[in-house]
Amino acid sequence: MNPRAFLKECLMQFFIITTFVNVASAVVGPVLMPGKTFGFVAFWSPLFAGFLGTLPSVVLYSKKELTLRQTIFRKVLHLLLLEFILSLVGWLNGNISTAGSFVIFALMVLAVYAAVTLFSFLLESREAKQINAGLRALQNRK
Amino acid sequence: MDVIVQQVSRSAPQQVVIQCYEVTDQIKSILRFIRSSGTTLAGYQNERITQLPLQDIFYVEAVEGRVFAYTSGQVFELKCKLYEFEALYQGEQFFRCGKSMVVNLMKIDSVSPILNGRFSARLFNGEEVLISRQYVPALKELLSGGML
């Protein structure tokens, strides 16, 4: 993949992650911290999380075509890096202080990661359907 | 469009005549198919040269500076560069699907997504080839635009 296409993909990831972090915070926040209120500065946190969430994507970049095995390995590495970076930030700003909160946070990251992967897969499945229909039409025409 | 097939004697030349109001994309596509169906390439295998029908090729791959054509069960070396092959036959159902591969669209059974925006194409002989994500938009455009 060329660097420009990779950058474009990173930007797309950034916006997807930001949206999902927003949704996850809105759903899980009232359960974990029901009385908590935030100022305007809090609006930056999903963006910051989006940036940090996109940063480990560097491990997915490769000029050469990766095999499925290599891709899965890099995806796992990517997830572990994400868990590490986001947990570290959570721990530094005091949101994660106990083992329990760490587990919940790690599961949240995992859920967002799974949702993004699933969403991408569904989009690609739709693309594959279009391509298959186009191929059938071409092959029947000849 | 009516299709008429007339058998002629051995002494008469075989020919295809297309009668049309104008040369549309569909007519061009038929022309390309007719022209390519008789095309053969010199395929090298163990220092033996075989005339390889173009439509028998499933995909063509460049490996360490050499170019190989894969049919349903055999591999032949072609004495040309991959980009030369692509330039010559891209209008004849051959599509660049990766940095080092050109695939025959007529030989693809189905396409399915694999991780990271790439697709895997299962060919009619059971083999699978990768379609890099950078070539996916071009493939979609090609198939939807009826450019072949």
Of B99, B92, B60, which Cα lies nearest the Cα of B76?
Answer: B60
- How far is it, in rounded angstroms, from Cα B79 to Cα B66? 8
Higher pLDDT, A95 or A54: A54
CA proximity to A31, closest of A115, A93, A107, A86: A107
Residue from B111, B133, B134, B148 to probe the interface with A (highest A Cβ count within 10 Å): B111
Task: Give the domain range for residue A92.
Answer: 3-141
Res. B36: pLDDT tops 70 = no
Residue pair A134/B143 in contact by the 8 Å Cβ criterion: yes
Decide if B80 contacts A125 (C-beta within 8 A).
Answer: no
**A68 has a chain B CB within 8 A of its CB:** yes
Give chain A's domain count.
1
Check pLDDT > 90 for residue A37. no
CA distance B110 to A132: 6
ipTM above 0.90, yes or no: no
Question: Residue B8 phi/psi, 5° resolution?
Answer: -120, 165
Residue B10, classed as helix, strand or coil, is coil
What does DSSP assign to residue A24? Answer: H
Pick B7 or A68 by higher pLDDT: B7
How far is CA B55 from each of CA A97, A106, A113, B87, B144, rounded to the nearest angstrom? 65, 53, 44, 16, 22
Question: What is the spatial distance between Cα B92 and Cα B41, in angstroms, rounded to a whole number?
Answer: 14
pLDDT band at residue B76 using 50, 70 and 90 as cut-offs: very high
CB contact under 8 A, A138 and B148: yes
Residues from chain B contacting residue A65 (CB–CB below 8 Å): 98-99, 118, 130, 132
pTM for this prediction: 0.67
Domains of chain B in sequence order:
25-145 (2.40.50.1020)
Cα dihedral A120, A121, A122, A128, rounded to 10, equals 110
Tokens 């170019």: give the residue. B67
Res A23: pLDDT: 92
